[in-house]
Amino acid sequence: MKNYRLKIQYDGTRYRGWQRLAGRDDTIQGKIENVLSRLLDVPVQLDGAGRTDAGVHARCQVANVHLACGWEPAEMRQKLNEYLPEDIRILEVSQAGERFHSRLNALAKVYEYHLLKEGCYDVFARKYSWQMMQPLDTGRMRRAAEYLTGEHDFRGFCTKASKKKSTVRRLDAIEIRETEDSVYLRFEGNGFLYNMVRILTGTLVEIGAGKREPESIRDILQQKERSLAGETAPAQGLTLLAVRYD
Amino acid sequence: MKNYRLKIQYDGTRYRGWQRLAGRDDTIQGKIENVLSRLLDVPVQLDGAGRTDAGVHARCQVANVHLACGWEPAEMRQKLNEYLPEDIRILEVSQAGERFHSRLNALAKVYEYHLLKEGCYDVFARKYSWQMMQPLDTGRMRRAAEYLTGEHDFRGFCTKASKKKSTVRRLDAIEIRETEDSVYLRFEGNGFLYNMVRILTGTLVEIGAGKREPESIRDILQQKERSLAGETAPAQGLTLLAVRYD
């Protein structure tokens, strides 16, 4: 058995997210597993580093798969790209150590959310951004971001939190970059809960728009109540940029 | 009558190009004219600076339209964006002098062609670029570009050249910019013939791929024969970036 490591890029617009769903043919994991299964005539399980939601994109998702086949990595990449739809591309295939696991070995993930400023348009980014309807004060957003970085219980910033599993995560950095027509929020952390980046974004946007105070972040972290946080930002503005390993 | 000047952005993927076509509803000019006509209940003629081909995009096309209406420029922009499809956006409306004409007053236009290098992928650029199947030597392409800049008869680099009209144009600059995964060709000139940027691109790509010599440009310019030039590059990689005025 060889353990192949894949770097994958996808436009999530048409898909129900990364994770395979029984009986459906519109997930990223499912599409790639199906192509491999058909080519090799065996069942295939591909493990991805991050389970991106329906509509979320990836510049560089990482996954791995154990296969008993003679393919060189470059051959596997070429075959996959030949049979996959054009909105899913395999950027790179390499052979990994036997024990490498894309999710369990990931040290950090980097997500970016693209906000298009009020009154600014970019037709080329329309499927990859969230159009703002009010001006944003990035100074306020940066102050709020300071409360968020570090290790916290992010239970208030996630959907369907498990009662049994820990909701403590370490958010290493939130970088807020402003251009003439956009605001980019880049989140780097050791793990993200379900919808966490989108709820963080929705909350930061409300703070930037003056609808809530930067200090409200402290209450959400302390009280761990989803209802205290902002709305979940739309999936289409979010992209998984990178997964970091040792 | 007021003369309104519009800056327009569009994703050309779904359209048959800029220019209105009788009986069709899938041109950029037609879409905008129809919205204005319906709002004002009069026939409307919108003049664009560049007649982009079917499938070609624009970051900033310029057009003007004479209308007897009381709209403030910002009001017109808002109304148009309300009724236009999301792949056509009005970036700006301003009031121009009575004699301003978007095409006749244009001093120069800037087009950019996006080539994705062999073996490189970018799913987010897949509708806005041309995927190369061989490596490109940009040094060779730059040498060829030197023969092209300046004032020349570009008859050999256009489709359906008119026998009566001049095919002499001034190409001010061809800038060739290489990144890790792409090569961008930026053309600035005082006017472009039908398909000219796409034929220039197709020819430069053949030179970059080693299929023809940079010096072959001289022959095409001298002999003015379309059949001597390279293939017409696909429309989807081309974007009108800007139109320059005094």
- Give the one of B57, B59, B126 whose C-beta lies nearest to A86's C-beta: B126
- Give the one of A11, A59, A123 whose C-beta lies nearest to B11's C-beta: A123
On the question of pLDDT at B54 being above 90, the answer is yes
Using a CB-CB cut-off of 8 Å, the residues of chain B touching A9 are: 121-123
What rounded mean pLDDT belongs to chain A? Answer: 95
Using a CB-CB cut-off of 8 Å, the residues of chain B touching A11 are: 123-124, 126
On the question of pLDDT at B163 being above 90, the answer is no
pTM, full prediction: 0.91
On the question of pLDDT at B162 being above 80, the answer is no
Put simply, the answer to whether B57 touches A124 (Cβ < 8 Å) is: yes
CB B45 within 8 A of CB B4: no
Hey, is the C-beta of A124 within 8 angstroms of any chain B C-beta? yes
Percent of chain A scoring above 90 in pLDDT: 93
CA distance B15 to B33: 15
Q: CA B203, B193, B88: angle at the middle one, nearest 5?
A: 100
Helix/strand/coil percent split, chain A, to 5:
30, 30, 40
A59-101 pLDDT, tens per residue?
Answer: 999 999 999 988 999 999 999 999 999 999 999 999 999 999 9
Task: Give pLDDT, residue A7.
Answer: 98
What rounded mean pLDDT belongs to chain B? Answer: 95
Out of B26, B41, B47, B53, the active site residue is B53
A152-167 pLDDT, tens per residue?
Answer: 999 999 998 777 889 9
Confidence band (pLDDT; 50, 70, 90) for B125?
A: very high
On the question of pLDDT at B24 being above 90, the answer is no
Task: Give pLDDT, residue A161.
Answer: 73
Structure tokens at B216: 């072959």
Mean pLDDT value of segment B82-107: 96
Would residue B47 show up in a list of annotated catalytic residues for this protein? no
CA distance B23 to A1: 61
Confidence band (pLDDT; 50, 70, 90) for A170?
A: very high
Helices B138-148 and B196-208 sit at what angle, rounded to 10 degrees? 140
Q: How many CA atoms lie within 13 A of B3 on its CB side?
A: 11
Phi-psi region of B209 (alpha: psi -120 to 50; beta: other; left: phi over 0): alpha
Structure tokens at A173: 């950095």
Encode burial over B101-114: b for 16+ CB neighbours within 10 A, e otherwise: ebbebbebbbbbbb
